[in-house]
């Protein structure tokens, strides 16, 4: 059995934003769709709302009038759960409470046919636990859509411990028939996206808590240097601080309080104060009428150095050498030195973030990792109190001559983008090693689910397969809590690569 026959009715239980979105997807795929909600009249209201959205698709010439009318005719509110008896698929989108979901599926099991596929849209609960209340847990699968479901293509198809392979296959093929991009994953905390995305938020919050930079600067660096669609602070304000923190706590607890997933105290205080983001008018940023928009720290113009000395090829930042030459700055190459840094005219050094701190060395400025140094419009620099004013000024002037805004942050090991990407790469390797998903599905999930510029394994191949492990090793040395310790999977991957390269 593969995808659902289009003649098979689909039911959606729970008619909030997500439930309505899933119903709209199934409806426009040609199914008869039944909506059910325990609140009287809510299903009818949801049907009207979906109808209004379909009307707008006609106005935008994305749907014909005839198709709109046919879809409206297939959308039926249900008065009672027993109205779902003939459905081929029931998707649950109710509150994220295990007991409520289990009660619902227990009731459904006595109503629907034995061949009806049951699916939960949970984003943070165990699919295995949800199905554990059923007589036949093999027919329950996770279908985790992303909000807004009609627009975002990704669907995580989650197999619980007892899910039948045939059920997972049927769910996967159904999602694909609906025009979505499904990825298969095992039932582990956070599935793919919510597990591997945690460092994107956690590292930004950690830099803030260490007083390395303010939210607006960190967000600007993640966007304009890292290539991410949004920064961590503005994104969590959009999601809702309470929602984002809840997912973080769920993953952390589910991994038995693994330090790699430790929640942010700063975010906790934000939630406790009722500053939940856009929906409350204040979060990391102030959205109230008349509030001044927060601006990132940007350095004042400085004089560009006449030349730099390149010791090595700068590794992942090698493209900078061409950009420096194009800006009319002389690049002198030191062929005898095998380092990976630039030496400035005053004798100070400019080095790509590597997990160490500026204060450990004499007159060093670090610069952050960029997704694309040519296209990046901002670069972050970090320096210590011991860094000479001349060296910092020359470093700022150099990047300004390349057309970049420059943000100077505190002496934070791994800076912003570099430490974030390294941790994402590490969690991705760990997930593959533990059978959560394939490399291909993880890359697809992170690109489509949270709009990352590259998937973790694409990052890894671009940066060099030992890069993340080396940076995390240095971070772990400076913060031995275990938060930055490379996973065994990443260590093995990096070490095997080093051996192969050494042998060649």
Burial of 292 (0-12, 13-18, 19+ CB in 10 A): exposed
Start-end of H helices in 112-264: 127-131, 165-177, 193-196, 198-209, 215-224, 232-239, 241-254
Residues 6+ apart with CB under 8 A from 227: 370, 371, 372, 375, 376, 453, 454
Looking at the DSSP bridge assignments, the partners of residue 352 are 367
CB neighbour class for 453 (10 Å; exposed up to 12, middle 13-18, buried from 19): middle
CA angle 2, 6, 9 (to 5 degrees): 105
Three-state SS at 348: coil
- 330 by DSSP, 3-state: which? strand
Give the angle subtended at the CA of 180 by the CAs of 178 and 183, to the nearest 5°. 125
Nearest to 171 by CA among 141, 131, 145, 138: 141
SS3 state of residue 389: helix
Closest CA to 460 of 409, 494, 431: 494
Cβ neighbours for 279, distance < 8 A, ≥ 6 positions apart? 240
Can you say how many angstroms the Cα of residue 93 is from the centroid of all Cα atoms in its chain?
A: 22
Residue 483 tokens read as 């938060």
In eight-state DSSP terms, residue 82 is G
Alpha-carbon distance of 123 to 191, in angstroms, equals 8
Tokens of 470: 């080396």
378 close to 396: Cβ distance less than 8 angstroms: no
The span from the CA of 195 to the CA of 189, in Å, is 7
310 phi/psi in degrees, rounded to 5: -95, 120
350 strand-pairing partners: 342, 365
**Catalytic site positions:** 123, 144, 156, 194
Residue closest to 194 by CA, chosen among 94, 124, 241: 124
Between the two ends of the chain, the Cα-to-Cα distance in Å is 49
| CB 408, CB 382: distance < 8 Å | yes
Question: Could you give the CA distance from residue 256 to residue 252 in angstroms, rounded to a whole number?
Answer: 7
For residue 486, give the DSSP letter. P
């Amino acid at each position: 059995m593969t995808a659902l026959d289009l003649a098979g009715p689909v039911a959606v239980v729970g008619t909030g934003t997500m439930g309505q979105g899933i119903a709209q997807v199934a409806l426009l795929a040609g199914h008869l769709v039944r909506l059910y909600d325990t609140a009287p009249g809510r299903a009818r209201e949801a049907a009207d709302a979906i109808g209004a959205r379909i009307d707008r698709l006609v106005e935008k010439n994305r749907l014909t009038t005839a198709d709109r009318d046919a879809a409206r005719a297939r959308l039926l509110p249900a008065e009672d759960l027993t109205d779902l008896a003939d459905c081929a698929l029931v998707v649950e989108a109710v509150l994220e409470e295990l007991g409520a979901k289990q009660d619902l599926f227990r009731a459904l099991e006595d109503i629907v046919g034995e061949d009806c596929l049951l699916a939960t849209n949970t984003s943070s609960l165990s699919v295995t636990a949800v199905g554990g209340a059923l007589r036949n847990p093999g027919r329950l699968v996770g279908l985790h859509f992303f909000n807004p479901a009609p627009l975002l293509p990704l669907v995580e198809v989650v197999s619980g411990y007892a899910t039948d392979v045939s059920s997972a296959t049927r769910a996967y093929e159904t999602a694909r028939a609906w025009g979505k991009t499904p990825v298969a994953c095992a039932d582990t905390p956070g599935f793919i996206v919510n597990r591997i995305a945690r460092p994107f938020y956690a590292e930004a919050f950690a830099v803030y808590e260490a007083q390395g930079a303010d939210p607006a600067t960190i967000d600007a660096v993640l966007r304009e240097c890292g290539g991410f669609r949004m920064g961590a602070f503005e994104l969590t304000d959009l999601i809702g601080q309470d929602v984002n923190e809840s997912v973080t706590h769920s993953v952390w607890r589910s991994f038995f309080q693994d330090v790699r997933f430790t929640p942010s105290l700063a975010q906790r205080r934000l939630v406790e104060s009722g500053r939940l983001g856009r929906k409350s008018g204040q979060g990391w940023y102030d959205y109230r009428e008349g509030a001044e928009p927060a601006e990132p720290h940007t350095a004042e113009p400085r004089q560009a150095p006449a030349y730099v000395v390149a010791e090595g090829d700068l590794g992942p930042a090698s493209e900078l050498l061409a950009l420096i030459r194009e800006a009319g700055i002389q690049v002198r190459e030191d062929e005898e030195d095998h380092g990976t840094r630039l030496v400035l005219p005053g004798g100070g050094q400019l080095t790509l973030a590597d997990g160490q701190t500026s204060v450990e060395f004499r007159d060093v400025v670090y610069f952050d990792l960029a997704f694309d140094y040519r296209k990046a419009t901002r670069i972050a620099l970090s320096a210590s109190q011991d860094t000479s004013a001349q060296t910092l000024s020359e470093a700022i002037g150099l990047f300004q001559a390349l057309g970049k805004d420059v943000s100077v942050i505190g002496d934070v090991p791994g800076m912003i983008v570099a430490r974030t990407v390294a941790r994402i790469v590490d969690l991705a390797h760990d997930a593959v090693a533990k059978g959560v998903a394939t490399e291909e599905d993880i890359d697809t999930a992170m690109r489509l689910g949270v709009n990352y510029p590259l998937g973790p394994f694409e990052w890894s191949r671009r940066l060099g397969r030992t890069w993340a492990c080396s940076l995390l090793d240095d971070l772990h040395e400076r913060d031995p809590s275990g938060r930055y310790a490379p996973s065994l999977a990443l260590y093995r991957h990096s070490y095997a690569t080093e051996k192969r390269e050494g042998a060649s």
